[in-house]
Structure 1
Amino acid sequence: MTHSMLLNLRDLSCGYNEHKVVQDLNLHLNAGDIGCLLGSSGCGKTTTLRAIAGFEPVHSGEISLAGEVISSAGFTLAPEKRRIGMVFQDYALFPHLSVAQNIAFGIRKQPDCERITEELLALVKLDHLGKRYPHELSGGQQQRVSLARALAPEPQLLLLDEPFSNLDGELRRSLSREVREILKSRGTSAILVTHDQEEAFAVSDHVGVFKEGKLEQWDTPYNLYHEPKTPFVASFIGQGYFIRGQLLSPEKVQTELGVISGDRAYIWPTGSAVDVLLRPDDIVYAPESSLTALIVGKTFLGAATLYRLQLPTGSQLEALFPSHADHQPGESVGIRVAAEHLVAFAVPGSVATHANPPSSGVRRHSAGS
């Protein structure tokens, strides 16, 4: 089933006054898909969302929706003419209107306003609360009202700006799953802005990772985790760290963990110094293995335990073992590497001119918040 392109951002640069926050941004969203702009504060994701909404002009490039240019340098179609809905972080509900009146606000002149309002109340599981006022609702309920109000005029695209950031952990998780189900059930296309990876992955079909105003990668959550295009994406998504190695052949790298071979080929010359990406689930507990590591720390996570391990060289790495076997700091455990997805990056300036192995060492990159 092919989906047509709904939103297209082409060579987009935008920001405040003369200051460019976002530069040379290219991405597109197909009809019916949910996209996410992910990154830390100040990276340009909210500026991009505001430009799509029509709240910020663009410096260069263009934004088109359903084939129509809605923003370009010197032209901004008014927000109310865009058929774009918006769900804000602070819900932005009208305190003097009931829940039902809030939802109906944008469609109150339509003849079938009442029917649509009732349908949306049921969709967001608030059909028994239509007569209540916003202050009588919990944060999660208020956010559902805000979502229903934005869906009422049937926008071509829905924008959600950090919609769950005022909610606590468990509610955030359940509501983000629920919002995905609601949008999918209506076939509504949406773009979410968040700094929370778990939320991005739970809600979205495609995620764009931002770094300092540049889009590093726009891809499925699976590909961002397993096929990161840049070292930044590799270390920002999930928990990743790099171990230095030397390319023995296009698909084999010599490291202090032994030879790691994977399912892809690299074109750098043999002998090049490379950084191999490892994740905690790439290091497997293997009691019979001759490769051992010392446990220097552990964090119990329920179904699994995250161990901090030290290799004989002094390098440290992290490994996720099933929690049934309980190992203690100070113990030595057998490990093996199960990294069929060999993700490696060339060390800048190190394209091989000699055959000496690079110095060993693991460089830790913490996951993005």
Structure 2
Amino acid sequence: MSFLTLNNLKKSFGATQVVHDFNMAIDKGEFISFLGPSGCGKTTVLRMVAGFETPSAGSIVVDGKDQTNLKPNQRNIGMVFQAYALFPNMNVFDNVAFGLKISGMSKADIGTRVKEMLALIHLEHLAERYPYQLSGGQQQRVALARALAPKPQVLLLDEPLSALDAKIRVSLREEIRQIQQKLGITTVFVTHDQEEALSISDRIVVMNAGKADQIGTPFEIYNRPTTRFVASFVGTLNVLDAVVADQGAGLVKIGDKMLTIKEAISSANGQTIQLAMRPEAGTLSATDEATVHGQVTSSQFLGSVIRTRIDVAGKTLSFDTFNDPGIRPPVVGDTVGVKIDPSALIVLAD
């Protein structure tokens, strides 16, 4: 049985509907990421769960109890915001203790709980410092500890890493995931960063125009997108034109090469369809085995990976290969062939 259930949620601001019939069942202890571009409705859904927005329709159920019309302070939910939102006139200890004091917990119990939280985020030595004396990463860890201190049923994180530099973001997202797994708390994380969502989530909700385009594991979202939007939004995507040669057998023709793909084809023989593939699904090749040939327009050395862009009949395709110190990487102007793994091709629906 799911722990957090969102049933047919809708939200309108005036005549504009920003969330359309949103449904999801989240298990206890699951880490869910809402991923999508600005304005897709992901933060609005989060704010409805928190109680900061009232749904225009639908219901929010936590552990079997309907919380749709409860005020934020009547819900046992912790929230971490994009802006750290720490109290500037309180030190770290008092910031973490704030919610506990409001709840009426005894001073002795507050002291014990705050020490537990500071140990969890490894900031015991900074208990007496004020927010202005902390780095951005430290402030966000304090905000996380403050949200977790009252032992909420659900933890909500609204783009908590977006104000941090790249290196700190990576280390802090890993720390958040470790803490979440240690506590076993049901967590909903909002982000527009694909790498963040793919790296730490149990499941991802890819949102588009107020709807969930696809819900699945990171592996499913990346490798088996079910809509054109998901395929293009998550990761880099190549799109190839192919002619259906034998619908039932999955046989298609790309250029002058015939390939058998695993994906089901709904178009009739002779029709042109579009196939998507990730940059890592092709292998640079100079042999007759190559599926397509083209001219290198750019070659980017990214350390462990070399990303090569190739012009194939006026269409630019990107391919990633691992760096091999013994092999010269392609240079602009080279004519190269690319052998495509047919099992990695995805049929794009209209």
Equivalent in the alignment of 1:360: none
Equivalent in the alignment of 1:214: 211
Aligned AA for 2:70? L
Equivalent in the alignment of 1:359: none
Aligned partners of 2:262 and 2:342 also within 8 Å? no
Q: Give distance in 2, aligned partners of 1:167 and 1:128.
A: 22
What percentage of residue pairs aligned between the two structures are identical? 39
Deviation per residue, 1:215-261 (Å, 9 max, x gap):
11111111011111101101111101211112223423221272332
Equivalent in the alignment of 1:91: 84
Deviation per residue, 1:76-100 (Å, 9 max, x gap):
1111111111101111111111101
SS of the residue corresponding to residue 264 of structure 2 reads coil
SS of the residue corresponding to residue 306 of structure 2 reads strand
SS of the residue corresponding to residue 110 of structure 1 reads coil
Equivalent in the alignment of 1:337: 340
Q: Give distance in 2, aligned partners of 1:203 and 1:159.
A: 15
Distance change >3 Å, CA 339–CA 100, structure 1 → 2: farther
Aligned AA for 1:110? M
Equivalent in the alignment of 2:72: 79
RMSD: 1.6
- Superposition deviation, residue 317 in structure 1: 0.7
**Range with greater deviation from structure 2 (259-268 or 85-94):** 259-268
**Range with greater deviation from structure 2 (90-99 or 285-294):** 285-294
Unaligned runs of at least 5 residues, structure 1: 349-369
Q: 2:43 aligns with which of 34, 41, 46?
A: 46
SS of the residue corresponding to residue 340 of structure 1 reads helix
- Superposition deviation, residue 119 in structure 1: 1.1
- Superposition deviation, residue 154 in structure 1: 0.7
Equivalent in the alignment of 2:105: 110
Q: Give distance in 2, aligned partners of 1:289 and 1:181.
A: 49
Aligned partners of 2:279 and 2:320 also within 8 Å? yes
Aligned partners of 1:88 and 1:161 also within 8 Å? yes
SS of the residue corresponding to residue 336 of structure 2 reads strand
- Superposition deviation, residue 194 in structure 1: 1.0
Equivalent in the alignment of 1:298: 299
Please state which structure has a larger fraction of its residues in helix.
Answer: 2
2:151 matches 1:154:
yes
Q: Give distance in 2, aligned partners of 1:261 and 1:81.
A: 57
Q: Give distance in 1, aligned partners of 2:209 and 2:173.
A: 26
- Superposition deviation, residue 265 in structure 1: 2.9
- The number of equivalent residue pairs is 339
Aligned AA for 1:123? L
Q: 1:25 aligns with which of 22, 26, 29?
A: 22
Q: Give distance in 2, aligned partners of 1:170 and 1:261.
A: 42
Unaligned runs of at least 5 residues, structure 2: none
Aligned AA for 2:58? G
Aligned AA for 1:24? D
Deviation per residue, 1:240-285 (Å, 9 max, x gap):
1211112223423221272332333334433333210111111112
Distance change >3 Å, CA 269–CA 118, structure 1 → 2: same
Distance change >3 Å, CA 61–CA 344, structure 1 → 2: same
Aligned partners of 1:294 and 1:310 also within 8 Å? yes
Q: Give distance in 2, aligned partners of 1:77 and 1:18.
A: 25
Aligned partners of 2:247 and 2:266 also within 8 Å? no
- The residue correspondences of 1:183-202 to structure 2 (distance < 5 A) are 183-202=180-199
- Superposition deviation, residue 195 in structure 1: 0.9
SS of the residue corresponding to residue 288 of structure 1 reads coil
Aligned partners of 1:7 and 1:65 also within 8 Å? yes
Q: 2:172 aligns with which of 167, 172, 175?
A: 175
- Superposition deviation, residue 18 in structure 1: 4.4
- Superposition deviation, residue 290 in structure 1: 4.5
- The residue correspondences of 1:241-256 to structure 2 (distance < 5 A) are 241-247=238-244, 248-250=246-248, 251-256=250-255
SS of the residue corresponding to residue 265 of structure 2 reads coil
Q: Give distance in 2, aligned partners of 1:119 and 1:259.
A: 62
SS of the residue corresponding to residue 67 of structure 2 reads strand
Equivalent in the alignment of 2:320: 320
Aligned partners of 2:277 and 2:344 also within 8 Å? no
Q: Give distance in 2, aligned partners of 1:90 and 1:101.
A: 18
Equivalent in the alignment of 2:276: 277
